[in-house]
């Protein structure tokens, strides 16, 4: 740049040029400290104005205009076209005597132009200075972009590290819940502590199983079944919003097993809360699978223990006491074996579940095992047996059942005997006819004595001696004279009670009694004869029951 010397005018021009250079150096210093495009634009605009009667029309950067915050911004917007220059050099702007585009491009920097306008074409020296301004502005913009990118990358890295730490914290806390077998209550508490939001765990039907945090509803709201089904289906792929909460579904296989709900009334739950909810749902599914597995093992252990105890096989029953203790069950208490038998074999659907629920209601016992046509219950209390049976019938929706209650057993080797007594009580019911009911072996009276006789040959001879002709008559003609005689004598000779028990008309009963007198030749009004015949019919009923196989009609 030429230096003017000598006269006063030359000195003035030199001073101006020197001032312009000093201003340019200050600008360069300021630009090196900036990374904000607006601040750079402001400094550049000030530098352009300081160089003489020129102003910045705008900065065209990365395909769009960046307004200058200084000077003639409004005039510049009015005078420039919508699209910017496509190369450095002179540009045409309406109402501008002179306009020039200076390149801002630099390696790894932005692509654009600094557009300057003036009332007249500046001197050559001013053009050089404007070019230097544009060069420094481009370098500053490139540096600022690089610094912003580095800050953004650093911020993203910090956020990723923070998210990783948060995710690890969530993982470690919830894994500790799973390994510590803290259950559903511990899981809900952990979610509340991790998110600061109240957490609820529900079963698939919407019943509350655990709650942690403030604001627990009382009573807990019930969910409409159809709406609940839609919610479970909607939440199959991950957490969804359900009113004022986020909901996630724990599944076992394809079936929903439970729901974890995070209270979020203001809708501000972020990614961290969703991560905690999703991870907690996985833990909940594992907890439910574990509990289901334990329940299945417990049920199988209980079933095998009951079957082994009543089977009478000492080898199979060995270790029963220790197995019961492992289940937390006390076999040392007095028990009775109770059999619940369906009146019509083949109706077993839901039978065991009905008996199990009824046993829980009347507290008849918790040790049960299904067999082919009946269910064995080890009763550790003197339960209300008629109530027990009524509850089962209501659960079976009209299907009927018979119940036999064996005698008490206080030692492990007495369970088979109590089971045989319960079986005999059921068979005596079926042999004697009448409606389904409860029969307690201890209440069988003479039948109990007869059934426990070790040798039945004398009983058979006694039956044939007194009832032989009637038995033959029934076998030949398909009659029911022996059963009729048994019911008549067992009800003290009452016509009405006997007819009701046999489900026949009173006249039919009288006809049968007349045939009994004719076939047997006995006088039914003789007290001694009545006693012998009642004993004989009781023995006949007992023999009939003893000849039946367990579980048959």
Lowest pLDDT segment from 486-500, 502-516, 523-537: 523-537
Quote the pLDDT of residue 189. 92
Q: Is the pLDDT of residue 322 over 60?
A: yes
CATH fold for domain 8-148: Beta-Lactamase (3.30.450)
Q: Is the pLDDT of residue 72 over 60?
A: no
201 or 25, which is more confident: 201
Using CA atoms, how far apart are residues 527 and 462, in angstroms rounded to an integer?
18
Give the pLDDT band (50/70/90) at residue 175. Answer: confident
Give the pLDDT band (50/70/90) at residue 279. Answer: confident
Tell me the average pLDDT across 60-66. Answer: 80
What superfamily in CATH does domain 332-444 come from? Reverse transcriptase/Diguanylate cyclase domain (3.30.70.270)
Query: What CATH number is given for 181-293 in this structure?
Result: 3.30.450.30
Quote the pLDDT of residue 11. 59
Q: Is the pLDDT of residue 507 over 80?
A: yes
Q: Would you call 16 helix, strand, or coil by DSSP?
A: helix
Tell me the average pLDDT across 163-177. Answer: 79
In 267-331, the DSSP E strands lie at: none
Query: What CATH number is given for 451-547 in this structure?
Result: 1.10.10.2840
Give the pLDDT band (50/70/90) at residue 297. Answer: confident
Which among 131, 143, 149 is positioned nearest to 44, based on CA atoms? 131
CATH 1.10.10.2840 domain extents, the chain = 451-547
- 422 C-beta neighbours (distance < 10 Å), count: 30
Give the pLDDT band (50/70/90) at residue 16. Answer: low
Using CA atoms, how far apart are residues 418 and 76, in angstroms rounded to an integer?
108
Q: How far is CA 465 from the centre of its chain?
A: 70
Give per-residue pLDDT as tens, 411-450. 888 899 899 889 888 887 877 666 788 888 887 766 665 6
Quote the pLDDT of residue 281. 87
Q: Is the pLDDT of residue 549 over 70?
A: no
CA distances from 375 to 191, 351, 370 (A): 43, 8, 4
Q: Would you call 461 helix, strand, or coil by DSSP?
A: helix
Here the tokens at position 380 are 């550790």
Q: What is the mean pLDDT of the chain?
A: 81
Give per-residue pLDDT as tens, 185-218. 999 998 898 888 999 999 988 899 999 999 999 8
Tell me the average pLDDT across 272-301. Answer: 85
Quote the pLDDT of residue 4. 41
CA distances from 91 to 100, 113, 212, 460 (A): 6, 11, 70, 132
Tell me how many helices (H) and strands (E) the chain has: 18, 15
Using CA atoms, how far apart are residues 183 and 258, in angstroms rounded to an integer?
13
- 491 C-beta neighbours (distance < 10 Å), count: 16
2 or 49, which is more confident: 49
CATH 3.30.70.270 domain extents, the chain = 332-444
Tell me the average pLDDT across 66-71. Answer: 54
CATH 3.30.450.40 domain extents, the chain = 8-148
Using CA atoms, how far apart are residues 321 and 324, in angstroms rounded to an integer?
5
Using CA atoms, how far apart are residues 415 and 254, in angstroms rounded to an integer?
43
CATH 3.30.450.30 domain extents, the chain = 181-293
Which among 413, 414, 389 is positioned nearest to 399, based on CA atoms? 389
Quote the pLDDT of residue 272. 82
Using CA atoms, how far apart are residues 192 and 463, in angstroms rounded to an integer?
78
109 or 328, which is more confident: 328
CA distances from 376 to 54, 107, 323, 404, 499 (A): 106, 89, 18, 10, 34
> Please, are residues 119 and 113 in contact by the beta-carbon 8 Å criterion?
no
CA distances from 305 to 17, 298, 377 (A): 109, 10, 11
């Amino acid at each position: 740049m030429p230096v003017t010397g000598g006269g006063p005018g030359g000195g003035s021009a030199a001073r101006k040029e020197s001032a312009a250079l000093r201003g340019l150096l200050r600008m360069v210093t300021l630009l090196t400290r900036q990374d904000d495009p607006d601040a750079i634009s402001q400094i550049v605009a000030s530098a352009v104005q300081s160089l003489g009667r020129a102003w910045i029309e705008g900065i065209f950067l990365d395909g769009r205009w960046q307004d200058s915050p200084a000077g003639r911004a409004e005039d510049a917007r009015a005078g420039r076209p919508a699209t910017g220059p496509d190369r450095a050099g002179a540009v045409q702007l309406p109402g501008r005597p002179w306009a020039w585009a200076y390149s801002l491009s630099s390696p790894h920097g932005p692509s654009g132009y600094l557009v300057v306008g003036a009332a007249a074409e500046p001197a050559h020296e001013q053009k050089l200075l404007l070019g230097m301004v544009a060069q420094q502005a481009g370098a500053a913009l490139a540096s600022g972009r690089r610094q912003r990118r580095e800050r953004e990358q650093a911020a993203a890295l910090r956020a990723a590290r923070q998210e990783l730490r948060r995710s690890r914290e969530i993982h470690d806390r919830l894994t500790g819940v799973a390994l510590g077998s803290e259950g559903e209550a511990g899981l809900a508490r952990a979610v509340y502590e991790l998110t600061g939001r109240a957490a609820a765990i529900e079963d698939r039907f919407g019943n509350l199983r655990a709650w942690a945090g403030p604001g627990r509803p009382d009573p807990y709201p019930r969910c409409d079944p159809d709406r609940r089904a839609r919610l479970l289906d909607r939440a199959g792929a991950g957490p969804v919003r359900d009113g004022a909460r986020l909901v996630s579904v724990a599944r076992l296989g394809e079936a929903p097993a439970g729901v974890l709900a995070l209270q979020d009334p203001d809708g501000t739950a972020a990614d961290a809360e969703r991560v905690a909810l999703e991870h907690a749902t996985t833990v909940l599914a594992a907890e439910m699978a574990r509990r289901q597995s334990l329940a299945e093992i417990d049920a199988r252990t209980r079933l095998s223990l009951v079957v082994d105890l009543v089977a009478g096989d000492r080898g199979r029953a060995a270790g029963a006491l220790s197995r019961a203790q492992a289940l937390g069950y006390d076999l040392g208490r007095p028990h009775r074996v109770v059999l619940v038998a369906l009146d019509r074999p083949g109706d077993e659907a839901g039978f065991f579940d009905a008996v199990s629920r009824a046993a829980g209601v009347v507290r008849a016992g918790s040790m049960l095992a299904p067999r082919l046509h009946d269910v064995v219950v080890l009763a550790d209390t003197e339960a209300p047996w008629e109530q027990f049976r009524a509850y089962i019938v209501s659960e079976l929706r009209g299907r009927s059942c018979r119940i036999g209650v064996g005698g008490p057993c206080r030692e492990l080797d007495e369970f088979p005997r109590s089971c045989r007594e319960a079986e005999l009580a059921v068979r005596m019911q079926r042999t004697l006819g009448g409606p389904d009911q409860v029969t307690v072996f201890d209440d069988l009276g003479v039948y109990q004595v007869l059934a426990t006789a070790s040798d039945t040959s004398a009983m058979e001879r006694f039956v044939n001696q007194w009832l032989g002709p009637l038995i033959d008559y029934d076998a030949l003609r398909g009659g029911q004279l022996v059963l009729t005689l048994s019911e008549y004598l067992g009800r003290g000779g009452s016509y009405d009670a006997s007819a009701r028990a046999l489900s026949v008309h009173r006249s039919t009963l009288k006809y049968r009694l007349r045939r009994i007198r004719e076939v047997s030749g006995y006088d039914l009004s003789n007290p001694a004869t009545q006693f012998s015949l009642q004993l004989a019919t009781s023995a006949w009923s007992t023999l009939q029951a003893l000849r039946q196989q367990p579980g048959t009609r």
